[in-house]
Amino acid sequence: MGKLQDKVAVITGGVSGIGAASATLFAAEGAKLVLVDMNQELGDRFIEELKGQGGDAVFVKADVTNEADVQNVFDTAKSQFGKVDILFNNAGIGSVKPTEELTYAEWRRTVEVDLDAVFLNAQFAIKEFLQNGGGVIVNTASMYGWVGSPGSAAYNAAKGGVINLTRSLGLEYAERNIRVNALCPGFIETPILGDTDREFLTNATPMKRLGQPEEMAKAALFLASDDSSFMTGNSLIVDGGYTAQ
C-alpha cells in the first residue's frame, strides 16, 4: 500500500519542476491528483505522461491568485474525486532585479503569486478539511525565506512570509487535525532558474551541485504523508547545506 493510498492531492504548479516530480511520486504512492497550473500546453502534455504511467489525475488550468479559478479547482477535485486530503501549495514565480529597477507592479505580482495565493489556496483547503475531519498542507517556501540575497527583495520577502504563515496556520489548526508545513528548497534544477549561471549556483552550494526536483519530491512526500505525523507549523530545509553556512 502506498504512503498516500487513495488520498486526493491538489498540487499547484503541478506540471513542471518540483510540482511535476512530486505529482509523479505522489501518484506512485497511490494518490489521486488534481494538478493546477496556468500553462495549459504543459498541463495537457504532463497529464498524458502521468496517465501513461497509470496515474489517476486531472489537470485544471488556473491562476492561483484568482479566487474564481481556485474555487473551480476545489469544485473539480470534489466532483472528480469526492474530497481533498492534501494541498501542495507549490506554484511560484521568481523575481530577480535590482531594487532600484523593480517596479511596484512587479513587486506586487511576485508577492501575489508567491505569498497571497498560498493563503488563498490554503483557506479553500482548510474549509474543506474542517468539514472532512482534517488534512495536510505543504507550502513551498525557499531557503530564501530564511536568508536574504541581493536583487530578490520581493521573492525573498514573499518566501519569508510563507514560512511565518505556515507557523501561524500550523498553530491555528493544530488541535483540528490539520497539519501545515513548509518545504524550503535550495537551488533546484527547474525552469524557474531560467538562464541563471549554473556554475555560480553550484559554487554557492556546499554540496557543489544543484538539487534535483526528485529530491524535493521525496521531501514533499514526507511532509504530505503520515511519515511527518507529529510535525506542524514548521519547515524542512533541503538545500545542499546552503543555509548552514
Catalytic residue positions, numbered: 155
Give the integer Cα–Cα distance in Å for 125 and 128. Answer: 5
Instruction: Return the residues of window 161-190 that contact ligand NAD according to CB under 6 A.
Output: 185, 187-188, 190
CB of 1 to ligand NAD, least distance (A): 28
Given the complex with ligand NAD, which of 39 and 132 has the nearer CB atom? 39
CB of 105 to ligand NAD, least distance (A): 15
By CB under 6 A, residue 153 contacts ligand NAD: no
Which member of 26, 77, 92, 122 binds ligand NAD (CB under 6 A)?
Answer: 92
Decide: 60 and 73 in contact? Cβ < 8 Å.
yes
By CB under 6 A, residue 140 contacts ligand NAD: yes
Given the complex with ligand NAD, which of 132 and 234 has the nearer CB atom? 234
Instruction: Return the residues of window 12-51 that contact ligand NAD according to CB under 6 A.
Output: 12-13, 15-19, 37-39
Give me the amino acid identity at 107: W
Which member of 4, 23, 77, 113 binds ligand NAD (CB under 6 A)?
Answer: 113
CB of 131 to ligand NAD, least distance (A): 25
Given the complex with ligand NAD, which of 65 and 76 has the nearer CB atom? 65
Given the complex with ligand NAD, which of 132 and 243 has the nearer CB atom? 243
By CB under 6 A, residue 192 contacts ligand NAD: yes
Residue 50: name the closest of 86, 11, 1 by CA.
11
Which member of 9, 58, 91, 217 binds ligand NAD (CB under 6 A)?
Answer: 91
Residues in contact with ligand NAD by CB under 6 A are 12-13, 15-19, 37-39, 62-65, 90-93, 113, 140, 142, 185, 187-188, 190-193
